[in-house]
Structure 1
Amino acid sequence: MMRPAPRFSTITLLCALSVVPLNVFVPSLANIAQDFHTSYAVVSLSLAGYAIVAVAVEMIMGPLSDRFGRRPIILANLALFTAGSIGCALASDIWTFLVARMLQATITSCYPVAMAVIRDTVGRERTASRIGYTAMIWAIAPMLAPAFGGSVDQALGWRTIFWCLALAGAAMFTLCWFDLGETNKARAGSIAQQFRAYPALFRMPRFWAYGLCMSFSVGAFYAFLAGAPLAATSAFDLEPGVLGFFMGVTTLGYIFGSFLSGRYAGRVPLTNMMIVGRIVACACPIFGLTLFLIGFGSALTLFGPFILIGVGNGLTMPSANAGMLSVRPDLAGSAAGLAGAMTVGGGAVLSSITGAVLTQNNATYGLFTIVLLSTATGLLAASLAAVAEKRDLARAPATSAPAASQVEGG
């Protein structure tokens, strides 16, 4: 039975579901620890372990989607996620809960595979536009998820959160079963054949330029997450509620930047959009440092400039993602998985460096300095991507231009 290409709404819902399970149950951590008679630190493994499994799964499922197709991989991950959610809801001890929680992490790979589906079905420039709109939902979902989870826990208990996730997984599986046709029309003949093609991908400067741009873009945000609480409490003694409000600034900026990407990415070259996004992001630490050096230090001048990080990342990430997927369209799934792993890895490295370097005495200036180095490196990578793009286009045979234009318009 031939199925049509998926509706964009299906892909958007799939991307939203891929990120909600990360933090929807965070308000219930203390209650889960109490019910299982264990420490908060042990229950917190459900977050750290989830992230580790997510990176590994993304690196595996992307290549598998190149070999076996997008549809079976997405359906398999939704089935595993649903089973893991049921396991969490029924768990009788903390270790069963943690194992089921790791099974839930398979849902995260649906996001990069969904990006590959978008690349399969639309042209290169339109890919960035579509990713921009999905990124808005991807950013909004984790903003609303903790409030939903906390309300459900308060009314019906924490296990109901996981029953809701299981229901969402089953509903998404049903929707994808009927609406998600196979989009990968050029599958690798074997896993070995696919791995033999990897060196060609790794040898392409554009691949690394796009990947490094994404890594340092996300790294600047993770540096903010790791360093801003210390800077705020040491300099301004902010209460947790006020701190949480200010920490949401960059997410709002990301939503706005992603909206701009969705609206204009199809009209502006990918590398131009990336460079503009990196320039906007670089303005954050420059603006912030300037305000503090001239004596305008306050919570507002600490957090306010970071909205530019969000806007810049919203402008950069969809285009960088689309560019990375287009380096080798036949390895789009693998590239998407690697992109996810590189961004998470870059974020982990920058957050670790920030945590190791900052102290109460240097937190504010140190944070802005680390962010400046990260955003500037991202700008350099975006510029290198533009140079590599022009060079590769110049090398392409002139006779292929009309055909390429036709594909891009699709």
Structure 2
Amino acid sequence: MTPAHPQTAAGEPKPSLAVLIAISTVSPVAMQIYLPSLAGMMAVFSATAGEIQLSMSAFFISVAVSQLFWGPLSDLFGRRPVIIIGMALFVVGSIFCLLAPSIEWLIAARVIQAAGGCTGLVLGRAIVRDLYGPRQAASMIGYVTMGLAVMPALAPAMGGVLDQFYGWRGGFFLMLIFGVGVLWASVYRLPETHKTRVAVTARQVLQSYLRLFREPLYWGYALTATFSALTYFAYLGGAPFIAAGLMSMTAAEMGFYFMFVALGYMAGNFLSGKYAERVGMFPMVLAGTLISGLAVVLVAGFTLFEALTPASLFLPMFVLGLGNGVCLPSALSGAVSVRPDLAGSASGLTASLQVATGAVAGSLVARLYADGFLAGSPWAMIWIMAAGVGAGLIAAVAIRLVSTRREMVPAE
């Protein structure tokens, strides 16, 4: 059977926006859909809260590490075969999750699921960069990530409904169906966009990253994206504790307010899709970082004047989501555009930096909130968020300083 693909003006096949969103969404949805089932899984597996939490931590670690390899492999073998292998691994991991007889089995299955699913997350950006120039790529990434934000925002609610009717396996069964569908789309609706074919060795993979390490402009974009993620994960690491401990909010109430963050992120990505190609990447990166800083200032002000309420804690996070949505598409597009021949490696490294730094930030906020002189105080979250915004601004300014010394200036 010959795959049918949309055609570009030049007659070259091009994946549809729906396919790019689907392959990019698999991993984020799998991260969150089983959250409502965690308490029930403790009873089913006779596990401690720490053991159940490890199934989530292992997922994040697997995503961070795997992305470092999938990117270079896609540069050497092409995007399509790597994504097909990844989606097949995701399906296998989902089957193992459904069959898990113990928490140890489930943790191992989640590692496989994460390692496979993250191929779409990291290579979706590289595919966009294969097809478009730097400015247009920023716009397209904005549209992709706007669509990508919808399903993860709804995933916990879907997981809760499935758990109510089918138990903890309900969410994993849905992910199995989703994974099979995306695997089919990868085989029959995803053309190759990266034409280079060379033999792959461990030395070549290492050399890909070494070449990136010597690109200051790459680091400007990558660190801006990383610190933007740090600010967001710091909020995720602190807001639930603050809401439950200081405001006695229920899980249902928190779920409602968390939607505002997703809405802000979607709005920011819409603005990126609409304006990034017109105004350029650097203005979008700088504007997004400054908008995120405004969110931190608002929360700090409400806390300082003892006016922190559910609305004043969560609604400024709409502004944070907006800032991330404006900044990240252009920062990610810039990171993969500095060396187009290493777009997969750049995308994988940047995504790994985001996940790893964000996970550390969330854990640090949780620890500071639990222990030390900031215990029980919103300032544990606020100071880490402020540090992320400050570091992001420095990285954004570095983009401008470095790009002025280059003949090709993608940060216009």
The TM-score, its normalising length taken from structure 2, stands at: 0.89
CA distance in 1 between counterparts of 2:180 and 2:308 reads 50
Distance verdict in 2 for CA 1:236–1:25, change over 3 Å: closer
1:348 to 359, 362, 369: 359
1:129 to 123, 136, 139: 139
Equivalent residue for 2:223? 212
Distance verdict in 2 for CA 1:235–1:44, change over 3 Å: closer
Distance verdict in 2 for CA 1:10–1:365, change over 3 Å: same
Write out aligned runs for 1:218-257 (5 A): 218-257=229-268
Task: Determine whether 1:158 maps to 2:168.
Answer: yes
Post-superposition shift, 1:343?
0.4
Task: Determine whether 1:28 maps to 2:37.
Answer: yes
What do residues 312-355 of structure 1 show as CA deviations (whole Å, max 9, x unaligned)?
11000000000000011111111111011110122123223323
Identity of aligned residues (%): 34
Post-superposition shift, 1:295?
5.3
1:90 to 99, 122, 125: 99
Distance verdict in 2 for CA 1:178–1:379, change over 3 Å: same
What do residues 19-50 of structure 1 show as CA deviations (whole Å, max 9, x unaligned)?
21112122222333333343443233221111
Equivalent residue for 1:377? 391
CA distance in 1 between counterparts of 2:332 and 2:145 reads 11
After superposition, the CA RMSD in angstroms is: 2.4
Report the secondary structure of 2:196's partner residue: coil
Distance verdict in 2 for CA 1:234–1:374, change over 3 Å: same
Q: Which amino acid aligns with 1:53?
A: S
With 249-258 and 294-303 compared, the bigger mean Cα shift is at: 294-303
Write out aligned runs for 1:3-402 (5 A): 4-105=13-114, 106-191=116-201, 192-294=203-305, 296-358=307-369, 363-393=377-407
What do residues 284-321 of structure 1 show as CA deviations (whole Å, max 9, x unaligned)?
22233334445544332233222221111100000000
Distance verdict in 2 for CA 1:137–1:209, change over 3 Å: same
The answer (yes or no) to whether the contact 1:230–1:363 under 8 Å persists in 2 is no
CA distance in 2 between counterparts of 1:294 and 1:34 reads 43
What do residues 107-144 of structure 1 show as CA deviations (whole Å, max 9, x unaligned)?
02221111111111111111111111111222221121
Report the secondary structure of 2:406's partner residue: helix
Unaligned runs of 5+ in 2: 6-12
CA distance in 1 between counterparts of 2:153 and 2:398 reads 34
CA distance in 2 between counterparts of 1:92 and 1:234 reads 35
The answer (yes or no) to whether the contact 2:208–2:345 under 8 Å persists in 1 is no
Post-superposition shift, 1:97?
2.8
The answer (yes or no) to whether the contact 2:129–2:343 under 8 Å persists in 1 is yes
With 301-310 and 266-275 compared, the bigger mean Cα shift is at: 301-310
CA distance in 2 between counterparts of 1:124 and 1:217 reads 20
Query: Aligned residue pairs: how many?
Result: 397
Unaligned runs of 5+ in 1: none
With 271-280 and 29-38 compared, the bigger mean Cα shift is at: 29-38
Post-superposition shift, 1:83?
1.2
Report the secondary structure of 1:267's partner residue: helix
Runs of 4 or more off by more than 6 Å in structure 1? none
The answer (yes or no) to whether the contact 1:188–1:194 under 8 Å persists in 2 is no
Post-superposition shift, 1:188?
4.4
CA distance in 1 between counterparts of 2:401 and 2:28 reads 34
Q: Which amino acid aligns with 1:154?
A: Q
Q: Which amino acid aligns with 2:157?
A: A
What do residues 50-88 of structure 1 show as CA deviations (whole Å, max 9, x unaligned)?
111111111111111111111110000111111111122
CA distance in 1 between counterparts of 2:282 and 2:348 reads 21
